[in-house]
């Protein structure tokens, strides 16, 4: 019963130790999981922060770029229109001074800087018919009174430089932006209308020195929302959107009292997501707008994000791989610890068995020592008995020798004389005497046998004595 309780307690202790080892391995695994999660989360946050910063920096650069480009575009358009205004003022003076002697073709040839920017320069009479053009010395008197830019000047509703909507010139046959102004006498009567037909491409030459990307664009439009000129690498031609209306941008500009603005939305021409900045052209009813496509603005940031994502994936894979390797190693070590613990318990049990056997051997040795002591006492008693037996044997031997000597001598005499008497019997009493002598002889022979038996007993006693001495020597050793 006690042994069974001891075994049950030992098994319970072993089970608790195994559970402790497994719990220690599980705690270590949880710690590694937490560390791996912190590493992965920190890497994701760090890489996400870097990617976000790069996108924000790209967006900030895009805002700066569209702001600078729209400013440069506005300055370019303003300079062109200022030069046109100056040329118109000069023409007014020449027409007033020279009158009918003024030759527009000769004047245009002397001012070559306008040859590249204008499709033509024309003078329209008070009746709305063409009087002169830089394209011909003898133009046909084409009636232009139905044109908006001519009609407004004829009506006198508008004073100053007027920028009309893009039209196909009836004389030049090209898409142009008409810039008109009145030529008046001192009394205010209309002498004529000066018309500068500007090439739309000339107003967007800024794109030649800047990079708008594949989805960016430059737009020159009136405050009425009609596009005067546009450029985009994706356009089929520079004239594709001339004359079209951009109502969304017009509404946005009308809704704001400022001279400029910016927004992030769709490109007003191609609908692509873009960064857009617009500005009003100072002193003119025009608006310039520059847009940069988001796909190109964020191209570098997106490539960096892909690289960062790949780096994050690499860190994640490395962390997971390392975690799995550590998990496997911890599991292996836990199994090894349990196996070592089991082996140690087995060794403890073997040691306990050996100690128990040792105690048994010590007890057996004590018993053997006790038995040796007892045998030594028995040996002493046997030695004493042997001495007594030897003394008795010597007395017996002496007795037998004396008896043998004393008995043999008269016995031989009796037997010899009996033999002699038997040989010489011859009387009538012979039979009777023979009987007596025969009885005497038989008795003598029997006594002789008894004597021989005693002597034989002596020899046997000596043999027994020798065996006893041999056994006594073995016990003593």
pLDDT tens sequence across 237-280 = 777 888 888 887 778 777 777 888 888 888 888 888 999 999 99
Confidence check: pLDDT of 429 > 80: no
Output phi, psi for 337, to 5 deg. -65, -45
Q: Return the half-sphere exposure (C-beta side, CA atoms, 13 A cut-off) of residue 271.
A: 0
The rounded mean pLDDT for the chain is: 80
pLDDT digits (tens, 9 = 90+) for 22-67: 888 888 878 888 888 888 888 888 888 888 999 899 999 999 999 9
Q: Are strands 273-280 and 190-198 parallel, antiparallel or unpaired?
A: unpaired
Q: Which of 172-176, 324-328, 420-424 has the lowest mean pLDDT?
A: 420-424
Which residue reads 């590249």 in tokens? 116
pLDDT over 70, % of the chain: 83
More confident residue, 473 or 379: 379
Average confidence (pLDDT) over 274-291: 90
Could you tell me the end-to-end alpha-carbon distance of the chain, in angstroms, rounded to an integer? 43
Give me the pLDDT at residue 381, please.
80
Pick the more confident residue, 293 or 465.
293
**Cβ–Cβ contacts within 10 Å for residue 288, how many?**
29
Distances (CA, A) of 374 to 377, 386, 462, 464: 5, 18, 28, 24
pTM of the model: 0.61
pLDDT surpassing 90 at residue 230: no
pLDDT at 444: 76
> How much is the pLDDT for 1?
56
**Residue 101 CB: number of other CB atoms within 10 A?**
8
Give 94-203's CATH code, choosing from 3.30.450.20, 3.60.70.12, 3.40.30.10, 3.40.190.10.
3.30.450.20
Q: Which two tokens stand for residue 158?
A: 């508008």
Task: Tell which phi-psi region holds residue 225, choosing left (phi > 0), alpha (psi between -120 and 50) or beta.
Answer: left
Mean pLDDT across 278-284: 88
Per-residue pLDDT, 276: 92
Which residues on adjacent β-strands are paired with residue 221?
227, 287
Has residue 463 got a pLDDT over 60?
yes
Query: What's the confidence (pLDDT) of residue 111?
Result: 64
Contact 191, 126 (CB under 8 A): yes
pLDDT of 275 reads 93
CATH number, span 211-295: 3.30.450.20
* pLDDT on residue 427: 58
The tens digit of pLDDT for each residue in 111-157 reads 665 555 567 888 888 898 988 888 888 888 888 888 888 888 888 87
| Average pLDDT of span 375-395 | 77
What are the residue ranges spanned by the domains of the chain?
94-203, 211-295, 360-476
pLDDT at 63: 92
Q: Do 94-203 and 211-295 come out as alike in CATH topology? A: yes
Are 129 and 143 spatial neighbours (Cβ–Cβ below 8 Å)? Answer: yes
Give the residue, 41 or 456, on which the prediction is more confident: 41
What length is written for the chain?
Answer: 477
List residues bridging with 420 in a β-sheet. Answer: none
pLDDT of residue 295: 87
Over residues 210-217, mean pLDDT: 84
């Amino acid at each position: 019963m006690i042994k069974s309780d001891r075994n049950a307690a030992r098994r319970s202790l072993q089970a608790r130790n195994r559970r402790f080892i497994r719990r220690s391995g599980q705690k270590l695994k949880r710690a590694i999981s937490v560390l791996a999660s912190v590493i992965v989360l920190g890497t994701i946050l760090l890489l996400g922060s870097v990617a976000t910063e790069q996108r924000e920096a790209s967006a900030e650069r895009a805002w700066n770029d569209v702001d600078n480009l729209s400013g440069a575009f506005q300055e370019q358009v303003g300079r062109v229109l200022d030069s046109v205004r100056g040329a118109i003022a000069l023409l007014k003076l020449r027409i007033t001074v020279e009158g009918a002697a003024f030759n527009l073709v000769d004047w245009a040839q002397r001012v070559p800087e306008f040859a590249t920017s204008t499709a033509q320069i024309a003078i329209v009479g008070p009746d709305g018919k063409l009087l002169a053009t830089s394209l011909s010395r003898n133009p046909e008197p084409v009636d232009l009174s139905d044109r908006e830019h001519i009609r407004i000047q004829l009506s006198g509703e508008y004073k100053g430089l007027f920028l009309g909507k893009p039209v196909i010139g009836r004389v030049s046959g090209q898409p142009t932006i008409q810039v008109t102004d009145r030529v008046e006498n001192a009394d205010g009567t209309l002498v004529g209308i000066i018309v500068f037909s500007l090439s739309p491409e000339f107003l967007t030459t800024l794109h030649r020195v800047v990079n708008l990307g594949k989805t960016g664009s430059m737009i020159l439009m009136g405050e009425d929302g009609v596009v005067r000129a546009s450029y985009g690498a994706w356009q089929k031609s520079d004239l594709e959107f001339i004359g079209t209306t951009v109502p969304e941008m017009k509404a946005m500009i009308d809704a704001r009292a400022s001279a400029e603005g910016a927004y992030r939305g769709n490109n007003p021409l191609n609908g692509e997501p873009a960064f857009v900045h617009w500005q009003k052209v100072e002193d003119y009813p025009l608006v310039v707008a520059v847009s940069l496509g988001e796909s190109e603005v964020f191209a570098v940031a997106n490539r960096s994000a892909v690289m960062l994502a790949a780096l994050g994936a690499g860190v994640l894979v490395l962390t997971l791989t390392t975690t799995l390797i550590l998990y496997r190693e911890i599991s292996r070590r836990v199994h090894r610890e349990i196996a070592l613990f089991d082996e140690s318990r087995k060794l403890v049990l073997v040691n306990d068995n050996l100690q128990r056997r040792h105690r048994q051997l010590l007890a057996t040795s004590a018993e053997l020592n006790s038995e040796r002591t007892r045998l030594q006492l028995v040996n002493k008693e046997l030695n004493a008995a042997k001495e007594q037996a030897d003394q008795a044997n010597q007395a017996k031997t002496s007795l037998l020798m004396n008896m043998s000597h004393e008995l043999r001598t008269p016995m031989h005499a009796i037997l010899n004389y009996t033999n002699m008497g038997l040989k010489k019997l011859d009387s009538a009493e012979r039979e009777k005497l023979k009987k007596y002598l025969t009885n005497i002889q038989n008795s003598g022979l029997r006594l002789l046998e008894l004597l021989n038996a005693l002597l034989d007993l002596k020899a046997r006693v000596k043999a027994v004595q020798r065996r006893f001495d041999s056994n006594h020597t073995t016990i003593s050793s």
